[in-house]
C-alpha cells in the first residue's frame, strides 16, 4: 500500500503550539541578548527561576486568551490580536512579581525590547504554523465506513471540533436496499472500491461507524481484516468522537452502554475528594469575601436596574438526585415565571439590563459560593438543574440522571465548552460534556476548567 501522509492529532498540535511558543520566546530573548545591548532577562542558569516564571505566565494566560484554540490558530489576524493580549497580561504580571523576577532596568527602553521580542518571536512561529502545519498537506484524511443513518451527525460534530480532520468520503457498509438513504455531505464510494480508495486518496485512518456490526457486509469485513493485518489504523467511531469533541456520544450508545461509561477513579479516590473539598472551602471563602467587596455596586445596580429583591432561592437537583436550594443574584424581572417553569432563551425579555450584565460577567453566581461552603455544590461539576427540567429531560434524553453521580458545580466542562442549554437538543450536547467530565475527572481537567472559566468571564460569555 502507498505511504500514508503526515498528520498531527489534536493533542499533538496543541502540544506543538504550546512547546514551540515557549521555545521561540527563549530563543528570541537569547538572540536579543546576543546581538543587542540588552541585559534585563538574560538566558542563563542564574536566571532559571525568572525564566520559568515568565514561561508559566505565558502558558497560563495563553490558555485564558484561547491562543491554543485550533480554529483561531489557523487565522493570523485573530492570532496576532490574541498574542498581544496574552503577552501584555503576562508581562504585566511578571513585573508585579518582583521577588522572583529581575529588578527593572534603569534604561526603560529595555522593557520595550523585552515586550516586543516576545510578541515577534511567538508570532513568527505562528506564521510558520499556519503556512506549514495548518495547511491542507497535513490534514488527516479519513474514510468513514458505516451506516448512512449515522454519517451526517458524525461528520458535523467532527468538522466543528477539528478543522484538520478531513473526512474524504464514506462507504455504506449495509446490505443494498430497494430505497437506500443518500447523504450528499461527502462523497460516497462503492464498497468494492474500499482498498483502492485508501491508496488513491492517501487515507490515514478508517473509522467504522456502525451501530450494529451485523449490518457490515462480508466483503467489507474481509477488507477491514486485511487492513488490520497490515497495521493500518482502524478505529471505532464513538472513540474518535469522544477524543476529538471531548463529549460522550450518548446518541450513538445502545444496549451495551456499560462499555462507554468506565467512570474516572477520581470519583471514589479519597485523596482526590479530600483535596477537592479543601479547594472548595478555600475558593468559596475567597469568593464570598470578593462578593462582599463588590456588594455596594451590585446594590446600586439592582436598585436602578432590577428594582426588586437582590437575591432569590430556587430548588435544584444535586448529587444522587437530592434537592437543595440554590442562592443567586436576581437577574430577571419580579414574577418572571407566573405561567410556570420556562427555559431561559437568548435575548430573553424577562432578563433585565442589569441582570444581563450580572449573567454575562457571572457575578450572579457569587452567592452560590455559600452552597459550595455548605457542601451542596463543588467548584467544578455539572451545573445543577431545576427538578422540573430534570424530570422532563430524563424522559427524553437517555442517561440524563447519570450526571447526578457527582456534586453539581459552580462551573464545569459544559459551561466552558458550550452555551446555555435552553432546549432539549442543547441539553443533549451539555450532557455529553458533563459525562465526559465525570468519565475523565482529574486534577488536570479541573485546573483546565478553572483556567477556561477565566476565559468565559473575560470574554463576557455568560448567559
Q: Which residue, among 359, 332, 348, 351, has the nearest Cα to 462 in the 3D structure?
A: 359
Mark whether 269 and 210 lie in a shared domain. no
Dist CA 102 CA 85 (whole Å): 22
Q: What is the pLDDT of residues 331-356, one digit of tens each?
A: 888 777 766 666 666 666 788 888 88
For position 208, what pLDDT does the model report? 86
Query: Where residue 312 falls among pLDDT bands split at 50, 70, 90?
Result: confident
Same domain, 323 and 339: yes
DSSP calls for 220-257: HHHHHHHHHHTT--EEEHHHHHHHHHSS--GGG--TTG
Say if residue 282 is in the same domain as residue 174.
Answer: no
**CB-neighbour burial class of residue 46 (10 A; exposed 0-12, middle 13-18, buried 19+):** exposed
Kindly state whether residue 252 falls inside one of the protein's structural domains. Answer: no
pLDDT in tens, 134-147: 666 677 788 888 77
Strands 409-411 and 165-172: unpaired
In this prediction, residue 268 carries a pLDDT of 84
What radius of gyration, in Å, describes the C-alpha atoms of the chain?
Answer: 26
Q: Which DSSP state fits 324?
A: E
- Classify burial at 310, counting beta carbons within 10 Å of its beta carbon; exposed 0-12, middle 13-18, buried 19 or more: middle
pLDDT at 378: 95
Class of residue 85 by CB neighbours under 10 A (exposed 0-12, middle 13-18, buried 19+)? middle
Last residue of a domain, one of 116, 133, 150: 133
* Same domain (yes/no): 283, 430: yes
SS3 content of the chain, % helix, strand, coil (to 5): 60, 10, 30
Separation between Cα atoms, residue 408 and residue 314, nearest integer Å: 14
> CA distances (Å), 359 to each of 93, 317, 328, 389, 420, in order?
27, 21, 10, 20, 11
**SS3 of residue 209 by DSSP:** strand
Would residue 257 count as lying in a domain? no
* Claim to verify: residue 349 and residue 416 sit in the same structural domain: yes
Q: Is pLDDT of 177 > 60?
A: no
- Residue 124 and residue 150 in one domain: no
pLDDT in tens, 417-460: 887 666 777 888 899 999 999 999 998 899 889 988 888 777 65
* Domain-embedded: residue 251: no
Is 12 exposed, middle or buried (CB count within 10 Å of its CB: 0-12, 13-18, 19+)? Answer: exposed
Does residue 179 register a pLDDT over 50?
no
Do residues 294 and 231 both lie within one domain? Answer: no
Q: Which pLDDT belongs to residue 9?
A: 66
- DSSP 8-class letter at 302: I
Average pLDDT, stretch 221-247? 86
Indicate whether 314 and 451 sit together in one domain.
Answer: yes
For the cut 80, the answer to whether the pLDDT of residue 317 exceeds it is: yes
User: Cell 432578563 maps to which residue?
Assistant: 351
Count CB-CB contacts under 10 A for residue 153: 14
pLDDT digits (tens, 9 = 90+) for 350-378: 888 888 888 888 888 999 999 999 999 99
Examine the fold and report which residue of 212, 245, 278 is the final residue of a domain before the chain moves on: 245
Q: Is residue 200 part of a domain?
A: yes
User: Same domain, yes or no, for 28 and 78?
Assistant: yes
CB 252 within 8 A of CB 241: yes
What pLDDT score was predicted for residue 178?
A: 46
User: What CATH number is attached to the domain comprising 209?
Assistant: 3.40.50.10700
Length of the chain, in residues: 463
Report whether 463 contacts 419 (CB < 8 A): yes
**Count of the separate structural domains present in the chain:** 3
Q: Which of 202, 211, 205 is nearest to 227 (CA)?
A: 205
* Dihedral, CA of residue 196, residue 200, residue 204 and residue 206, to nearest 10: -30
Find the angle CA(242)-CA(248)-CA(254) to the nearest 5 degrees. 115
Kindly state whether residues 316 and 421 are assigned to the same domain. Answer: yes
Rounded Cα distance between 234 and 204, Å, is: 9
Residue 126 in grid coordinates: 505562528
pLDDT average, residue stretch 283-287: 94
Q: Cell triple for residue 88? A: 501584555
Region of poorest pLDDT, from 18-27, 226-235, 278-287: 226-235
Q: What is the domain range of residue 60?
A: 10-133
Task: Tell me whether strands 165-172 and 140-146 are parallel, antiparallel or unpaired.
Answer: parallel
Q: Of 245, 273, 292, which marks where a domain is finished?
A: 245
Judge whether 230 lies within some domain: yes
The answer as to whether 100 is a domain residue is: yes
Q: The C-alpha cell of 37 is what?
A: 545591548
Say if residue 163 is in the same domain as residue 280.
no
Structural domain includes residue 1 = no
Q: For the ranges 43-47, 259-263, 310-314, 338-342, which has the lowest average pLDDT?
A: 338-342
CB atoms near residue 399 (< 10 Å): 16
Mean pLDDT of the chain: 83
pLDDT greater than 70 at residue 194 = yes
Q: Give the C-alpha separation, 164 to 244, whole Å.
A: 11
* Any domain includes 259: no
Interatomic CA distance for residues 31 and 27, integer angstroms: 6
- 241 and 119 share a domain? no
All residues at 6 or more sequence positions from 34 whose CB lies less than 8 Å from its CB, including other chains: none
Amino acid at each position: 500500500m502507498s505511504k500514508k501522509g503526515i498528520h498531527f492529532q489534536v493533542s499533538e498540535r496543541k502540544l506543538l503550539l504550546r512547546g514551540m511558543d515557549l521555545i521561540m520566546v527563549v530563543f528570541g530573548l537569547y538572540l536579543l541578548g546576543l546581538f543587542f545591548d540588552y541585559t534585563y532577562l538574560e538566558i542563563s542558569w542564574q536566571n532559571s527561576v525568572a525564566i520559568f516564571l515568565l514561561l508559566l505566565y505565558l502558558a497560563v494566560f495563553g490558555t485564558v486568551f484561547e491562543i491554543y484554540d485550533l480554529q483561531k490558530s489557523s487565522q493570523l489576524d485573530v492570532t496576532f490580536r490574541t498574542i498581544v493580549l496574552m503577552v501584555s497580561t503576562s508581562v504585566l504580571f511578571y513585573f508585579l512579581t518582583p521577588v522572583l523576577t529581575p529588578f527593572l532596568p534603569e534604561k526603560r527602553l529595555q522593557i520595550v525590547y523585552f515586550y516586543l521580542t516576545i510578541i515577534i518571536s511567538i508570532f513568527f512561529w505562528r506564521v510558520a504554523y499556519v503556512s506549514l502545519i495548518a495547511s491542507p498537506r497535513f490534514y488527516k484524511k479519513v474514510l468513514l465506513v458505516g451506516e448512512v443513518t449515522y454519517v451526517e451527525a458524525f461528520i458535523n460534530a467532527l468538522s466543528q471540533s477539528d478543522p484538520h480532520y478531513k473526512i474524504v468520503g464514506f462507504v455504506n457498509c449495509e446490505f443494498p436496499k430497494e430505497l437506500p438513504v443518500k447523504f450528499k455531505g461527502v462523497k460516497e464510494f462503492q464498497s468494492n472500491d474500499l482498498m483502492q480508495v485508501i491508496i488513491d486518496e492517501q487515507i490515514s485512518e478508517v473509522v467504522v461507524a456502525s451501530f450494529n456490526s451485523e449490518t457490515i457486509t462480508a466483503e467489507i469485513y474481509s477488507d477491514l481484516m486485511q487492513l488490520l493485518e497490515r497495521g493500518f489504523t482502524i478505529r471505532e467511531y464513538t472513540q474518535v468522537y469522544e477524543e476529538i469533541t471531548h463529549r460522550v456520544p450518548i446518541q450513538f450508545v445502545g444496549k451495551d452502554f456499560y462499555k462507554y461509561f468506565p467512570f474516572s477513579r477520581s470519583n471514589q479516590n479519597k485523596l482526590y475528594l479530600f483535596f477537592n473539598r479543601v479547594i472548595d472551602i478555600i475558593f468559596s471563602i475567597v469568593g464570598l469575601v470578593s462578593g462582599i467587596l463588590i456588594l455596594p455596586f451590585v446594590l446600586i445596580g439592582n436598585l436602578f436596574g432590577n428594582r426588586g429583591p437582590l437575591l432569590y432561592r430556587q430548588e435544584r437537583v444535586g448529587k444522587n438526585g437530592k434537592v437543595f436550594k440554590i442562592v443567586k443574584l436576581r437577574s430577571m424581572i419580579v414574577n418572571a415565571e407566573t405561567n410556570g417553569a420556562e427555559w431561559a432563551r437568548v435575548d430573553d425579555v424577562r432578563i433585565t439590563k442589569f441582570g444581563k450584565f450580572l449573567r454575562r460577567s457571572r457575578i450572579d453566581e457569587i452567592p452560590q459560593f455559600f452552597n459550595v461552603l455548605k457542601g451542596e455544590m463543588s467548584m467544578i461539576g455539572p451545573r445543577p438543574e431545576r427538578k422540573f427540567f430534570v424530570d422532563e429531560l430524563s424522559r427524553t434524553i437517555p442517561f440524563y440522571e447519570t450526571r447526578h453521580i457527582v456534586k453539581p458545580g459552580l462551573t464545569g466542562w459544559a459551561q466552558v465548552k458550550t452555551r446555555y442549554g435552553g432546549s432539549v437538543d442543547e441539553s443533549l450536547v451539555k450532557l455529553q460534556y458533563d459525562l465526559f467530565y465525570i468519565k475523565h475527572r482529574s486534577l488536570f481537567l479541573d485546573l483546565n476548567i478553572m483556567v477556561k472559566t477565566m476565559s468565559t468571564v473575560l470574554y463576557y460569555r455568560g448567559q
